[in-house]
Amino acid sequence: MRRGGPEVNSPGAPVPLPVVVPDRGDPAGAIAAAAARCSNAGRWGADDVLGTLNFLTPDKRVEGAALVRRGVTFSLAQSFDMNGPQKGWRRRTNPVHTMLDTGVDAERANQGFPHGFGGADDVVFMPLQASTQWDGLGHIFDHGMAYNGRRAGEVVTSEGDLVTGIQTVGGLIAGRGVLLDVGRSVGTDGELPDGFAIITAHLEQTIHAQGASAAVGRGDLLVIRTGRLARARREGWGDYAGGASPGLSFTTADWLFEREIAAIATDTWGFEVRPNEFDAAFQPLHQVAIPNMGLFLGEMWDLEELSADCAVDGQWDFFLTAAPIPVTGAVGAPVNPVAVK
């Protein structure tokens, strides 16, 4: 890391800010340094499988529940269907939903049931990170190591994640959610451009702009809106899944660590800025956040409706429940997050 280096790679960034940036040519060094500063390995014992979810204590849930005033809900899930963004990269397809029985068959009395009974039934084939999802702690490794100092090859085999499978999260992810609409505070027409790196100052600026209900602290479930999904819906998916996008700067690792948030989610495919801030690197912030920090990352969330509501009533925090489908051994899992205000 060095000060005063080249600007963050944020073409068209409406609010360029000086920032401590990593050496573009040395992702390995920058990652190692950040990993050392931001590691939670051993913090909650050698057997820990929850990482930053340890910050989500019962009192945070009581605090979150107290935010329910109007009783309105917002689903933060995108759709799960063939109209999604996946294009086959790493064998990720969109969800394929097929029917085992249909109403057409029932209407035609093809089904053989008695007394006018008819039924429909269905199956789905989908990559677990095809749409709105949580990354589990077994999703990313750093030099062959998984979260909490475990060897990757002992944690995630062909049988799945034997240690930190997403089912270990159970129903824990319920608490105080906070939406930081960086797209609205910092961007143009509510959207950040592709390649825009959200740095700590942008986060702080947004918190300041949004007011007291946007305070972010220990145990919070932080939700970041960039506006990228709105653009994808308007202009088509294009390269959304794996393509250029605004997102968190690599340099936010320390802020994420120090704030002791329980989890973070964004409205983008990949959470961090793409292309990233190194000359040749792949998802470097993931490499710090998941295997070292033990941070739970949510991706491809739909924050449009919620952000519109928050902008109207000025209340940016809410009760958030986001329990992933507990596929045993999964390293990521679909979720239908629900914000209640």
The token pair that represents 139 in the structure block: 């999703």
Q: Which stretch binds a copy of itself (CB under 8 A): 16-24, 147-155, 222-230, 250-258?
A: 147-155
Among 187, 190, 195, 334, binds a copy of itself (CB under 8 A): 334
User: Locate tokens 């956040």: which residue?
Assistant: 289
Is 74:309 a contact under the CB 8 Å cutoff? yes
Is 105:121 a contact under the CB 8 Å cutoff? no
Q: Of 46 and 280, which has the nearer Cβ to a copy of itself?
A: 280
CA atoms in the 13 A half-sphere facing the CB of 250: 31
Among 2, 3, 171, 235, binds a copy of itself (CB under 8 A): 171
| Cα 187 to Cα 15, 244, 300, distances in angstroms | 8, 16, 19
Give the single-character DSSP code of 105.
H
Instruction: Enumerate residues 214-253 that contact a copy of itself by CB under 8 A.
Output: none
- Spell 159-186 as b/e; 16+ CB within 10 A means b: ebbebbbbbbbeebbbbbbbbbbbbbbb
Q: Is 156 in the site for a copy of itself (CB under 8 A)?
A: yes
Site string for a copy of itself, 191-210 (x = CB under 8 A): --------------------
Q: Is 329 in the site for a copy of itself (CB under 8 A)?
A: yes
Q: Is 4 in the site for a copy of itself (CB under 8 A)?
A: no
Q: Of 134 and 196, which has the nearer Cβ to a copy of itself?
A: 134
Q: Which stretch binds a copy of itself (CB under 8 A): 11-19, 81-89, 232-240, 262-270?
A: 81-89
Q: Of 13 and 297, which has the nearer Cβ to a copy of itself?
A: 297
Is 283:272 a contact under the CB 8 Å cutoff? yes
Spatial CB neighbours of 90, under 8 Å, sequence gap ≥ 6: none
Q: Is 1 in the site for a copy of itself (CB under 8 A)?
A: no
The dihedral sign for the CA sequence 213, 296, 91, 120: negative
Cβ at position 238, least distance to a copy of itself in Å? 14
The token pair that represents 237 in the structure block: 């998916």
Measured at the alpha carbon of residue 220, what is the angle toward residues 216 and 226, in degrees to the nearest 5? 65
Is 20:34 a contact under the CB 8 Å cutoff? no
The dihedral sign for the CA sequence 126, 127, 131, 132: positive
Q: Of 67 and 207, which has the nearer Cβ to a copy of itself?
A: 67
Instruction: Enumerate residues 279-318 that contact a copy of itself by CB under 8 A.
Output: 280-284, 286-287
Instruction: Enumerate residues 86-145 that contact a copy of itself by CB under 8 A.
Output: 88, 90-110, 113-129, 138-144
Q: Of 198 and 290, which has the nearer Cβ to a copy of itself?
A: 290
Among 15, 23, 81, 242, binds a copy of itself (CB under 8 A): 81
Q: Of 44 and 237, which has the nearer Cβ to a copy of itself?
A: 237
Among 31, 179, 273, 300, binds a copy of itself (CB under 8 A): 31
Distance (Å, rounded) from C-alpha 289 to C-alpha 296?
A: 8
CA atoms in the 13 A half-sphere facing the CB of 247: 31
Q: Which stretch binds a copy of itself (CB under 8 A): 1-9, 46-54, 166-174, 256-264?
A: 166-174
Cα Rg of the chain, angstroms: 21
Instruction: Enumerate residues 37-76 that contact a copy of itself by CB under 8 A.
Output: 57-62, 64-66, 68-76
Among 4, 158, 234, 312, binds a copy of itself (CB under 8 A): 158
